Copies of this chain bind each other. A is one copy, B any other.
Amino acid sequence: LVAVYTKVPAEDLNAFLARYGVGEARSFKGISEGVENSNYLLSTTTGRFILTLYEKRVEAGDLPFFLALMEHAAARGVPTARPVADREGRALQTLCGRPAALIRFLDGVSVSAPTPAQAAAAGEALGRFHAATADFAQTRPNALGPDGWAALAARIGDGADRIAPGLTALIASELAALASAWPADLPRGTIHADLFPDNVLFVGDKVSGLIDFYFACTDIRAYDLAVMLTAWSFEGPMDRHRPETAAALVGGYRRAHALSAAEEAALPLLARGSCLRFLLTRAWDWLNTPADALVTRKDPMAFARRFAHFRDAT
């Protein structure tokens, strides 16, 4: 499922920690949080932290945006992973030749089959995140918006038919349909852009943490809720739609942030875009990951199946 790429020797860790006021290492374990970066769970004499070394899949130039965003949201009470600054006020460091950051540990467990109550809590947490970042001044383009989809589809070419016959044509028709219909006038803001159940920690039915901000960007705000509809409201190998979970996501969001009639009406279309985004990146990874690699390839076809639901609704 997962890989830690960079091994941090204890000696380097101790030199790194000396920059901070967080005490000395008590334990230090590589963890499998995401495949893009190397992550360690660190316990010190003063608390628990995640130490992240950013590997090449994350652009180093984007890191100040991500870290500032996490700090901004956490400072406003959103339960987000919070970077720790060293004694000189810097959150972004270098360790073992890689950009690195120390982030406060959040309790909680992600769920693979969220209940409607958990979906409502997660939707509300997204609304709180949007409210808290209304005054976040930094911006970052969405590399995986409509332009990015077209570029990725071109790189995949007809390779998609090796995953499933007809997939190339399905991608082309969705790209064309979304290019002409994609809304231009919906409110924009800072979005998480990848709020799958993997990225929400719960203690019981309460959200204890939003994590993995490394796709965050500036884009149509309601698209973030559409990503959640795509990711949370289907179940089982046939991706059966669960309307009560979808309603809970939207209802929960509304408890924390307004959603205009125009935004709500656009959700099925935005969700089609979200299906295409995850279909394309998974298809690319599928075609470029050896079948015998230790990383589990995620099935791109889940999002082809979910297309149909949202297309019928638009």
Per-residue CB contact flags for chain A residues 12-38 toward chain B (1 = under 8 Å, else 0) read 010000000000011111111100000
Q: Return A26 CB to nearest CB of chain B, in Å.
A: 5
Question: Which of B10, B31, B110 lies in contact with A110, CB distance below 8 A?
Answer: B10
Per-residue CB contact flags for chain A residues 282-296 toward chain B (1 = under 8 Å, else 0) read 000000001011111
* CB-defined contacts of A29 to chain B, threshold 8 Å: 29, 31-33, 41
In whole angstroms, what is the CA distance A295 to B294 when docked?
Answer: 8
Asked if A111 is at the interface (CB within 8 A of a chain B CB), the reply is yes
Chain A, range 100-122, C-beta contacts under 8 Å to B: 105-113
Identical chains in the assembly: 2
In whole angstroms, what is the CA distance A195 to B72 when docked?
Answer: 46
Question: Which of B1, B27, B108 lies in contact with A27, CB distance below 8 A?
Answer: B108
Asked if A136 is at the interface (CB within 8 A of a chain B CB), the reply is no
Question: Which of B9, B113, B293 lies in contact with A294, CB distance below 8 A?
Answer: B293
Asked if A203 is at the interface (CB within 8 A of a chain B CB), the reply is yes
A295 to chain B: closest residue by CB: B294
Most chain B CB within 10 A, of A7, A28, A41, A109, is at A109
In whole angstroms, what is the CA distance A43 to B105 when docked?
Answer: 12
Question: Which of B30, B107, B113, B293 lies in contact with A32, CB distance below 8 A?
Answer: B30
Question: Which of B10, B32, B110, B113 lies in contact with A4, CB distance below 8 A?
Answer: B32
* CB-defined contacts of A1 to chain B, threshold 8 Å: 3-7, 30
If the complex has contacts A3-B294, A30-B32, are A11 and B111 also in contact, measured as CB distance less than 8 A?
Answer: yes
Assess the B30–A31 pair: CB atoms within 8 A. Answer: yes
Asked if A179 is at the interface (CB within 8 A of a chain B CB), the reply is no
Asked if A2 is at the interface (CB within 8 A of a chain B CB), the reply is yes
Most chain B CB within 10 A, of A4, A112, A201, is at A4
- Lowest 8 A-B CB distances belong to which pairs? A30-B32, A3-B294, A9-B112, A29-B31, A4-B32, A10-B111, A10-B109, A28-B109
Mark A residues whose CB is within 8 Å of B: 1-7, 9-11, 13, 25-33, 41, 43, 105-113, 201-203, 290, 292-296
A-B contact pairs, 22 of them (CB 8 A): A1-B4, A1-B5, A1-B7, A1-B30, A2-B3, A2-B30, A2-B32, A3-B3, A11-B112, A11-B113, A26-B107, A27-B105, A29-B29, A29-B31, A29-B33, A30-B31, A31-B32, A31-B41, A290-B293, A293-B293, A293-B294, A294-B294
